[in-house]
Amino acid sequence: MDEDLNQMSRERLVEEVRRLRAGIREHRDSSGHDLCWHHPALWGLLPERSDPMPQVPSWPEFMAGCVRYRQAIDRELEANNGVLGRGFRG
């Protein structure tokens, strides 16, 4: 899938990393409802092209997922004295 990387020079690889990091940071720095929207610009950073419209579950299932996402954030905030990200072990 990522065979194109084998053909890139060091300089081109560094450029690609910077481009990808910028896209990831833009997404990471989103807030409010921007976190819930469709993100074709982020997916567009990949070299392969696909239909940018994701398949989504029914409204009740979709909304339940949004609630679970928000509850997970609240649990992390509570566990980390109001700070997100401390629990990440990546």
| Shared-domain flag, residues 11 and 36 | yes
Residue 80: which domain range?
56-90
Structure token digits, residue 23: 């896209």
CA distance 39 to 42: 6
| Shared-domain flag, residues 43 and 67 | no
| Shared-domain flag, residues 46 and 7 | yes
Number of domains into which the chain is organized: 2
| Shared-domain flag, residues 45 and 62 | no
pTM of the model: 0.67
CA distance 45 to 33: 22
Would you state the pLDDT for residue 85? 67
Write out pLDDT tens, residues 71-89.
998 999 999 888 876 544 4
Write out pLDDT tens, residues 10-69.
999 999 999 999 999 998 888 877 777 778 888 889 998 876 677 889 999 999 998 998
| Shared-domain flag, residues 42 and 61 | no
| Shared-domain flag, residues 30 and 61 | no
The three-state secondary structure class of 56 is coil
CA distance 63 to 60: 5
